[in-house]
A and B are shown apart, each in its own frame.
Chain A
Amino acid sequence: MAEYETHEYEVLVIGAGGAGLRAAIEAAAAGVSVGLICKSLLGKAHTVMAEGGIAAALSNVDDRDNWKVHFTDTMRGGQYVNNWRMAELHAKEAPDRVRELEAWGALFDRTDDGRILQRNFGGHRYPRLAHVGDRTGLEMIRTLQDHGIHKGMAVHMECTVVTLLKDGPRVAGAFAYERERGRFKVFRAKAVILATGGVGRAFKITSNSWEGTGDGHSLAYHAGAELMDMEFVQFHPTGMVWPPSVRGLLVTEAVRGEGGVLKNSTGRRFMFDDIPDLYRAQTADNEDEGFRYTQGDTNARRPPELLTRDHVARCIMREVKAGRGSPHGGVFLDISWIKARLPNAEEHIRKKLPSMYHQFKQLADIDITKEPMEIGPTTHYIMGGVRVDGESQMSTVPGLFAAGECAAGINGANRLGGNSLSDLLVFGKRAGEYSAKFAREQKPPAIDARQVDDAAKRAVEPFERSAGNEGPFQVQFALQELMQDLVGIVRSEAEMRRALAGLEALKQRADRAGVAGHREFNTGWHAALDLRHLLTVSEAITRSALERKESRGGHFREDYPDKDPAAGTFNIVVRKNRDGGMDVVRTPIPPMPAALKAIIDEYK
């Protein structure tokens, strides 16, 4: 093996968003040595974009709330294919994780009696989201960052993992490059936690940053772990649609939580036209009741704008396709109308939604206190990810853990808003705790020089090809177009077959992608190396979506538009076979214990 800068930790955390930071803090607290790898600078991870809040049944605002209601809401939102054990742990532990953030310096908005304020959000029965205006994610990541840097972890910024290293069946570490100089680094670790976030960059219209290329999903898959629920991609109903350069940028659900309504070009509030049976009993049937709900009337039912994200996104698509869309291909989201109901509405909006006010004012010349926004669905989140044990977050590869968006289970077929930030905290902590425990029980793994040399050789190949061949960015754009068009919000067998063929062709193009220049901070080279991850997750999404011949949650098939009860009994799992191909298997969902079933019956 050539000489590489080598680092050794008992626990290596890959990814420094909410889940990675929380995991690193917990592992460090357990007394093991911890390395934390960030793809960007520390504190810039995509968690900063989370706006609405952290879902936790603190019951500060409505004392009818408790973990059982939160659990039931999460399972209903996930259309009952969630890992019920994770949904249970999540609902039970989220309140403590939020209070812990406060003990570490987070400053949430307050109730009148000085406790943490909670707001309404789609799919949550009671006001449940602890928040800071509409910049909760920033508050969370900064709190974890500022707490974490004093806990003795070694932080490797602007460092990207190319491949995981194995020692027999177990994980042995990771092979990475640092962006600044382009030098390779070898990490040896007894346990590795993946906390790399999502895959949004596989689609053209997305709220995700350049980092969301499915690295953790792909690293785990190629290391022999299983990926589950990859067909379930969440298209957030409200992304910006204009101007073109910000298309896909997120508009927080909190706009609707604070009273914002969706209208089509005829001025109709179309969400009242299609309320699913599963939610009919909890949904307002008139505008007045819906508004009262958003203003804290505990006797009112929620407006249909706050139905689950999958449903709202499809309703918007339907309006657009029917020719009732807005000028730039979306629909209207209006918060300014609350002027008719509230004194000082403009100030109220600016105070409750400061980032949104700022974002529209600066990027679209729209004053949201005076006029409606134009919005449309945007790729936001993937429910699927590394298949993990619900308690420990360990994957099917010994020593390899996953937490946060890159892990599967908690969200089932659709994630409720606000459950992501709580997921990061609850399962980040668990991954940190159990990985430390695992690491303490293990001998250090051996690093296989051949694996390292192979990875290094593969990583520099783009420099050996002529840059005129094929540009890495062009391949990425083509992949994003393909996934958007053929495996997007509305799917069909024929289109997805075409997508598979297209992905195969893109693999060939990716193998020809060349870059010029040298290795120092060469973004073209980085894009070329990310292609493998994007291709892997795109194939996993497509194959899983082909296998699920029904519509459920974030997965909608126009050739199978209904939910099939028989398909509610299994998850779809993909894994790499001996020949390097992708196997797709149906895995039965273990039966839910009677006690949890009783809770769902009581609260649904």
Chain B
Amino acid sequence: MPTTATFRIWRGNAQGGKFEDYATPVSEGMVVLDAVHQIQADQANDLAVRWNCKAGKCGSCSAEVNGQPRLMCMTRLNQLNLDEPVTVEPMRAFPSIKDLVTDVSWNFRVKKGIRPFKPRPPDAPDGTWRMQQADVERVQEFRKCIECFLCQDVCHVLRDHKQFDGFVGPRFLTYAAALEMHPLDEERRARELKTTHGIGYCNITKCCTKVCPESITITDNAIIPLKERVVDELYDPTVKLLRFFRRK
């Protein structure tokens, strides 16, 4: 490992910006976020970057490192070629605020638009429920999500086609899947998944699954079963017929 490395960091805001090179000392075990912090402390006090836990648990320090969507705190320098400058830039699917910080507020608005958890009545007289570990585990996979929004960043429906009004993105399809598959939940979300949440836009390219730092199998375990559920509920001919008569 060399003793110094150059980091080519994007500096700018919504109006524009450019990459600037910073050389900083590096040592064994360092992650990209360490280098960014060193640069911030010694050379660029006003360098904007989000971070909190520095342990891959809060999902704040999402960025694109050498073009790859990554958590900076979990990207070891020994995984990178330090003979060349390491580029660090903000998530490009979201509007820039400053430097490495982007405006992710859209995500918080989208979440509010998904019908919340609605449990069935308690199973026991003391107001508690009974659930089997196996049923719980299926959903726990989705609840590992740290809301880093890297899956949103990499999803071409959002990143390239800017369908922010008609598509909630992989993060919130996973969120909806966690609710739909929750052993206690009784809410119905199929119609909205099809309409306002735009599940049909996903053409299962699996880019989201590839970048998930929590290794959630987003496409196979969350989105595809959710698509099947939408089909079952909205396109099942028997159900359709029943609905037709019920409406009368």
Contact = CB atoms under 8 A, between A and B. Distances in A.
Interface of A: 40-46, 48-49, 99, 102-105, 107-110, 113-117, 132-133, 135, 138-139, 142, 146-147, 149-150, 155, 157, 180, 209-211, 242-246, 249-250, 355, 358-359, 362-364, 467, 471-474, 477, 515-518, 520-525, 527
Contacts of B117: 104-105, 146-147
A347 to B, nearest CB: 14
Which of A109, A246, A527 neighbours the largest number of chain B CB atoms within 10 Å of its CB?
A: A246
Contacts of B196: none
A207 to B, nearest CB: 9
Contact of A110 (B40, B57, B133): B133
B156 to A, nearest CB: 25
Contact of B56 (A99, A110, A358): A358
Across the A-B interface, give the 9 residue pairs with the lowest CB-CB distance, nearest first.
Answer: A243-B29, A524-B45, A114-B130, A517-B46, A105-B117, A521-B48, A473-B41, A209-B52, A521-B98
A150 B116 contact: yes
A249 B54 contact: yes
Contacts of B104: 41
Contact of A41 (B55, B60, B140): B60
Nearest to B60: A44
A280 to B, nearest CB: 36
Given A135-B144, A149-B112, A245-B30, 8 more contacts: A40-B52, A40-B58, A46-B53, A49-B57, A108-B136, A146-B116, A473-B45, A516-B46
A110 B132 contact: yes
A147 B50 CA distance: 25
Contacts of A115: 128, 130
Nearest to A111: B133
A41 B130 CA distance: 34
Contact of B57 (A355, A473, A523): A355
A150 B179 CA distance: 15
A107 B182 contact: yes
A529 to B, nearest CB: 13
A103 B53 CA distance: 28
Contacts of A110: 131-133, 136
Contact of A40 (B50, B132, B179): B50
Contacts of B179: 105
A465 B45 CA distance: 14
A521 B99 contact: yes
B69 interface: no
B129 interface: yes
Contact of A473 (B34, B40, B139, B140): B40
B82 interface: no
Given A44-B60, A467-B45, A180 B52 contact: no
A113 B130 contact: yes
B129 A102 contact: yes
B142 to A, nearest CB: 10
Contacts of A43: 147
B97 A180 contact: yes
A523 B48 contact: yes
Counting chain B residues whose Cβ lies within 8 A of the other chain, the interface size class is: 35 or more
B45 A48 contact: no
Given A40-B50, A49-B55, A243 B116 contact: no
A110 B122 CA distance: 16
24 contacts: A40-B58, A42-B108, A44-B53, A48-B57, A105-B117, A105-B184, A107-B140, A110-B131, A135-B144, A138-B143, A149-B112, A180-B98, A180-B101, A209-B58, A245-B34, A362-B76, A473-B45, A474-B41, A520-B48, A521-B97, A522-B46, A523-B49, A524-B40, A525-B46
Interface in B9-30: 13, 27-30
A102 B128 contact: yes
Contacts of B144: 135, 138
Contacts of A524: 40, 45-46
Contacts of B98: 180, 520-521
Interface string B144-187: 11110000000000000000000000000000000100101100
B40 to A, nearest CB: 6
B112 to A, nearest CB: 5
A477 B56 CA distance: 23
Nearest to A150: B116
A138 B147 CA distance: 11
Contact of A244 (B27, B50, B140): B27
Contacts of B45: 467, 471-473, 515-517, 522-524, 527
B111 A149 contact: yes
B22 to A, nearest CB: 15
B41 A471 contact: yes
Contacts of A105: 116-117, 119, 179, 182, 184-185
A43 B146 CA distance: 9
A581 to B, nearest CB: 31
Contacts of B56: 358-359, 362
A41 B101 CA distance: 12
Nearest to A151: B116
B133 A210 contact: no
B202 interface: no
Contact of B48 (A44, A102, A522): A522
Contact of A210 (B52, B143, B182): B52
A43 B30 CA distance: 26
A254 to B, nearest CB: 14
A43 B45 CA distance: 26
B130 A363 contact: no
Contacts of A521: 48, 97-99, 101
Interface string B73-104: 01010000000000000000000011101011
A180 B103 CA distance: 9
A146 to B, nearest CB: 7
A467 B41 CA distance: 12
Contacts of B140: 107, 132-133
B201 interface: no
B31 interface: yes
Which of B45, B54, B55 neighbours the largest number of chain A CB atoms within 10 Å of its CB?
A: B45
Contacts of A467: 45
Contacts of A244: 27-30
Contacts of A133: 140
Contacts of A527: 45
A43 B57 CA distance: 11
Contacts of A516: 45-46
Which of A155, A244, A515 neighbours the largest number of chain B CB atoms within 10 Å of its CB?
A: A244
A108 B58 CA distance: 19
B127 interface: yes
A108 B55 CA distance: 22
A183 to B, nearest CB: 13
B128 A99 contact: yes
A188 B101 CA distance: 29
A362 to B, nearest CB: 6
